[in-house]
Amino acid sequence: MTQAIKDKVIVITGASSGLGEATARLLSAQGAIVVLGARRVERLQALADELTGSGSKALAVTTDVTHCDQVKKLVDAAVQTYGRIDVIINNAGLMPQSPLDRLKVDEWNRTIDVNIKGVLYGIAAVLPYMQQQKAGHIINVSSVAGHKVGPSFAVYAATKHAIRALSEGLRQEVKPYNIRTTVISPGAVATELPDSVTDPDTAEKVRKAYEIAIPADSFARAVVYAMSQPQDVDVNEILFRPTRQEL
């Protein structure tokens, strides 16, 4: 059990599967108190019940990150139940991909709403508490696509580039409050994200690219690494891939 994580109150969005679920499990095993947000209430509650049944503290709050008030409700529930908020992991995300000339405008809008606005709403919800505490850690999830752009994933890459820009601006602004910031950029990790690709040609390319995907707990371990550093160490960016990934 890592002492830097034990008893920390940690909010995780997109916690019902994939990176969020794996991270909730690992942090819970390290003694953290996890407050879980996602849209799929049954899966979310099942995870919370499993963790509490193992002796951990976990709270499930149905949350759609495209609604600012729901993200605030999630963070408020953490503070009201456990007295503080130490970490937020803005993990909820979508990865629909298609060439721009397919004109999937509704998918573009949804991706922007979840991947950018959802992160901003998480930041907005925790900042007042963390500023008052003069402590906290904001972890935002980008992607290798936040570093590289290619055909069929221009919009997704744009949202993940935006997360890196937001995180760097945030890092500079919160220095007076002793708040740490980390942006984590995974490569091909085994999650449900590829299932959100609706364009058939692109979906097949993504499926092949993800044949080398590594387990979701690889992301969870990156979170633990960033959180476990001494308070005077601020790990601002982590980029990792499968060893075999070329992009």
CA proximity to 219, closest of 234, 233, 195, 239: 239
Q: Are 115 and 93 in contact (CB under 8 A)?
A: yes
φ, ψ of residue 12 to 5 degrees: the values are -130, 120
Active site residue 156: yes
CA proximity to 222, closest of 169, 192, 191, 182: 182
Q: How far apart are CA 123 and CA 140, in angstroms?
A: 9
* Annotated catalytic residue, options 82, 121, 129, 156: 156
Q: DSSP for 114-159?
A: IIIIHHHHHHHHHHHHHHHHT-EEEEEE--GGGT---TT-HHHHHH
Phi/psi region, residue 123 (left: phi>0; alpha: psi -120 to 50; beta: rest), is alpha
CA proximity to 65, closest of 126, 117, 125, 10: 117
Which residues are known catalytic residues? Answer: 156
